[in-house]
Structure 1
């Protein structure tokens, strides 16, 4: 597996003209495709540099693994059953030893210069691997594996801290999706080239040696076009002690709990991915009774799946950092990994190693390929939002060191993955059984992480509910601030108003909710974990009312968004009730801009109090019926009277209820 490790302040703003043009287009409601980045110098040379690096990793590793698995007699002292896991472990060892130092270097020096340095280093390393292929020398090949790990260790912090310096926040999801897609397409191409090269019995070693050196040279040429990327902390004093600096980086990452748990989530993905990808050669030979060419089909299916999932993230998230996709990804990964276990037990016996053609004509094998494809696609849903979240919520001055902490954790998880696989194999577990164990562990780990950070699960619930029933049109959603305090006010049409707003907001919101809602088991659980603020009328519970105003004041002082429904109750007619003075009380304690909003299209649905309320029906109030969330211009707190706010919200809503 190509280790290209896979980030409370916003990222540094990109300074390129293309990024500025993107922001101007966004203000006019236009959005460029993520593929447009490939035509821009701020992204394209970097993209192709990392693409060629990931491809070369896999040409080398797949060629090496294929040779020792299917031509073990040529390599003395190598166990073909565990060789793939050993290669993976040796490749990631430098991440444990050197990631802390690499993170400091990436924060101290120009990333374009570092990119060219690592590509020059790759040109020096690859002839060692070429000699190992030509001499059938396992020690030389293991040495080259380690040095390529060093190459990826240095490049890792550069790779993911580069993007926020050249892309705007709205481009981060698309940019990360492109990088993830490119990485796994590179894995696919590298797998094909490495597998095909190893398949030449007479000249395979020479083909692999030449391919690795040629790709390294091409990567160095492309890297020369990467634009200057200023060091965020050029005066940083590098601590060369890897142990103390590793500990310091991990402590730095833990300062933001959501970021740290996101790092753990990404590292867990590498645990799962390493287990599957390192098992493919043995899976093909011992379970599928297939030849090395079928391994290319398996890896290709996996790579296309995760590439497609990564690209779809931008569309599914509407160009936002949508962490609700993360639980969706983890659920899909477990479901299809479990099905892969059962699919692997329903395979017809074969008396010889199947060719690609023979493998594909058997219907049972298509279920295996479908499981691999869907497992990988949901892996893309899982990984891209986590990377974008880490990049956006890390301090720009030490973002590369946060990425380095990620690499350290990735490495530890992948080493544990390799040790687990070797241990389970030694204990007699089959490859499908290892897949099942990994799927079950994924359920346990995902449940644990989401219990610690309910924000992931809440966004998932909101995303699923809203996108199951409605198509939502956003009008000037960019007016919801991405940072800083603000009070959102909205008309109150239905029981799911808060869920709709939560699903479409770029950041968490503290909703002010009727205290009675917290007494119901499901809504109470959701809004307690969303840190909603209970409120009550003064005549019912003046203590709750006073605490609500205090908590709103504190939330705004902490730079959070607070949303209140000034009507104080759901409409029973579809028309707005009179706005109350709660919003005035809130901004009197902590002045903050007030953002008026209006929901259209929810009146008459089963979630409203309309007399003819009904379950959603197509076109009308039905499945995928249309809603609109319109956002008005911010209003200065001194001008935000209930009367003015009601007039603006009424205009935003228009005639449609």
Structure 2
């Protein structure tokens, strides 16, 4: 799997540096989408054309096993991402990312021309040089591509854009892998004796087909790159370092300064390490374990199904993020990888034929594995793009590339260790991957429990309620604000946390969060607890004011308890004491449609009543900031009028 195929709250989506984003379906983003598709397509055509050719030439010329061609080829292709990471990141910051992308496409045309020469001359070392140059091209293309996404689509579309990038890349992987194998079949005579008598090596019969496809795809990508809008250089004064290793060290040092970015980069690096290991293991699983020694043609469909699953997982990550970066999805992705990888232990032995139950079951497991992997990685990539400071984004992404490709090289080494040194079968290697991923899942769960719960709660709410949010644009992208809401049910606090595009610190009575586990989770979520009594209330007010001074959102239910009638109760003045002298906006929230559920006091009781047999239409409305609020009843009246206006619509 190559690059081109690849706090405890969800993050607020604000990106002030994108002054005029074009949007998700703009010509500029569509051009970027097609451009990166051609890069991924050509990358996989070249690799899967070179793999069988390289295995033949290594066996004929060097008398080495095909495993050598596979591992050395991966190493040669990936090493530029380590050697050139510093230059790539600096270039992406110094120049316009559009300029870098166009330049990379021109370089791709040159590299594909050299690939044809290497094939025609049967030069195995020339093929290695071409793979190295292809890696150089992708090393410069990658940070420019990922760094341009926030500048083109804007903050709210980052997750969706990455989902589309992931989906189209996976399609390119499927098509490219199939095309590469088809080109090998069309340009290689099946009879070795006939090929030798005619002096034709692998890939040389009708070699012009390779030239048409490789150069044609590269040219189309170059033409579409010209339609990407002009992007300003992030740091025009930045110097391109003479020593790329020094710059790489500085980039890694900069990455380490940002804890969230470092964790995301390490998490995504694990994804790519595992990805390369899985790719090589799939080839071993198919040939010879499932379809016999002559079943190379059936490796492509298995890789395609895996990448199709990754594309689906990427799309689901974009959809389930609901306009934010939902880090809790990473937890479920890691759990899915663990479970599916361990399931390969139950895969029956192959029959030597592709039209068999073991082959189809393996394809099904690979699809599920890919879906879990896509769900795992897309939030991490989005996090790196969004959280990276605009003037340092190229450096951050270059450091991430260094880590991820170092991980992929380690993946090839691990494959050699497990397969050649320990002699494990493909099934056993999948199981090893699952066993290693399980502690990764536990670490993620420990680091992001609230994000995980938020995702679970979101799935629950949207399964049993027709939940929507209206007026979310009234929440400021940055800076402090107090959210005042009516209080209908036990779900209200979680609904507000689910709806807000930024982390919010809710104020709650201590008795509701006093249980040990609940108390620990509330602390991780930043809940401000209060207990009736002058000292406790004063401490709660002080903590809320400190949160506002730090630019955070604070949520409160001014009624002081849940309604018993469905109507808004009188407001307590605590929220005014919190806001006194801070000049922060007070934003009303009205929750409508929950009354009558088991979580409300309708019918004179909580919980102990029959639930509704149909999904309630539940809406959380966010109003414009209130003005002229000097007394608690002013805010009460404003919220009642806001609610009445909503109900009357």
Aligned equivalent of 1:162, options 129, 145, 148: 148
Aligned equivalent of 1:394, options 385, 388, 403: 388
Give the drift of 1:527: 1.3
Give the drift of 1:165: 1.0
Aligned equivalent of 2:254, options 252, 255, 264: 252
Give the drift of 1:422: 1.0
Give me the whole-angstrom Cα distance separating, in 2, the residues matched to 1:251 and 1:5.
27
Give me the whole-angstrom Cα distance separating, in 1, the residues matched to 2:462 and 2:332.
13
Give the drift of 1:476: 1.3
Give me the whole-angstrom Cα distance separating, in 2, the residues matched to 1:622 and 1:441.
43
Q: Deviations over 1:505-564 (max 9, x none)?
A: 21211111212233213422321111111112225xx1x323222221221122111111
**How many residues are aligned here?**
623
In structure 2, the CA distance between the partners of 1:644 and 1:229, relative to structure 1 (3 Å rule), is same
Structure 1 residues without counterparts, runs of 5 or longer: 20-33
Q: What's the RMSD between the two structures over aligned residues?
A: 2.6
In structure 2, the CA distance between the partners of 1:624 and 1:5, relative to structure 1 (3 Å rule), is same
Give the drift of 1:13: 4.9
Q: Deviations over 1:211-248 (max 9, x none)?
A: 32332233223223322111011111233323332222
Partner of 2:361: 367
After TM superposition, the structure 1 = structure 2 runs for residues 615-630 of structure 1, keeping only pairs within 5 Å, are: 621=612, 624-630=615-621
Aligned equivalent of 2:269, options 246, 260, 267: 267
In structure 2, the CA distance between the partners of 1:76 and 1:259, relative to structure 1 (3 Å rule), is same
Partner of 2:505: 510
Aligned equivalent of 1:527, options 504, 515, 522: 522
Q: Deviations over 1:465-488 (max 9, x none)?
A: 433433312121222223221111
Bigger mean CA offset, 331-340 vs 482-491: 331-340
Give the drift of 1:652: 4.1
Aligned equivalent of 1:594, options 583, 586, 599: 586
Give me the whole-angstrom Cα distance separating, in 2, the residues matched to 1:234 and 1:138.
41
Residues 21 and 154, structure 2, Cα contact 8 Å, conserved in 1:
no
In structure 2, the CA distance between the partners of 1:652 and 1:301, relative to structure 1 (3 Å rule), is farther
- Residue 556 of structure 1 pairs with residue 542 of structure 2: no
Give the drift of 1:362: 2.2
Bigger mean CA offset, 158-167 vs 493-502: 493-502
- Residue 578 of structure 1 pairs with residue 573 of structure 2: no
Give me the whole-angstrom Cα distance separating, in 2, the residues matched to 1:371 and 1:615.
42
Give me the whole-angstrom Cα distance separating, in 1, the residues matched to 2:631 and 2:357.
68
Residues 80 and 139, structure 2, Cα contact 8 Å, conserved in 1:
yes
Partner of 1:220: 222
In structure 2, the CA distance between the partners of 1:650 and 1:437, relative to structure 1 (3 Å rule), is farther
Partner of 1:294: 298
Give the drift of 1:587: 0.8
Give the drift of 1:109: 0.5
Give me the whole-angstrom Cα distance separating, in 1, the residues matched to 2:377 and 2:238.
30
In structure 2, the CA distance between the partners of 1:563 and 1:16, relative to structure 1 (3 Å rule), is closer
In structure 2, the CA distance between the partners of 1:616 and 1:293, relative to structure 1 (3 Å rule), is farther
Residues 5 and 40, structure 2, Cα contact 8 Å, conserved in 1:
no
Partner of 1:185: 171
- Residue 134 of structure 1 pairs with residue 126 of structure 2: no
Give the drift of 1:624: 4.5
Residues 66 and 281, structure 1, Cα contact 8 Å, conserved in 2:
no
In structure 2, the CA distance between the partners of 1:155 and 1:589, relative to structure 1 (3 Å rule), is same
In structure 2, the CA distance between the partners of 1:236 and 1:256, relative to structure 1 (3 Å rule), is same
Partner of 1:632: 623
Residues 10 and 393, structure 1, Cα contact 8 Å, conserved in 2:
no
Give me the whole-angstrom Cα distance separating, in 1, the residues matched to 2:527 and 2:262.
24
Bigger mean CA offset, 245-254 vs 53-62: 245-254
- Residue 605 of structure 1 pairs with residue 597 of structure 2: yes
Partner of 2:636: 646
Structure 2 residues without counterparts, runs of 5 or longer: 190-201
Partner of 1:340: 344
Give me the whole-angstrom Cα distance separating, in 2, the residues matched to 1:87 and 1:310.
28
Give the drift of 1:69: 4.7
Give the drift of 1:612: 4.8
Give the drift of 1:209: 4.8
Q: State the TM-score, normalizing by the size of structure 2.
A: 0.89
SS at 1:94 equivalent:
helix
Give me the whole-angstrom Cα distance separating, in 1, the residues matched to 2:608 and 2:243.
63
Give me the whole-angstrom Cα distance separating, in 2, the residues matched to 1:430 and 1:94.
31
Aligned equivalent of 1:484, options 476, 479, 482: 479
After TM superposition, the structure 1 = structure 2 runs for residues 190-201 of structure 1, keeping only pairs within 5 Å, are: 190-200=176-186, 201=188
Q: Deviations over 1:37-60 (max 9, x none)?
A: 2xx321122221111111111111
Q: Deviations over 1:353-404 (max 9, x none)?
A: x3xxxx2x42333222221112212222222222222222221111111111
SS at 1:222 equivalent:
helix
In structure 2, the CA distance between the partners of 1:521 and 1:515, relative to structure 1 (3 Å rule), is same
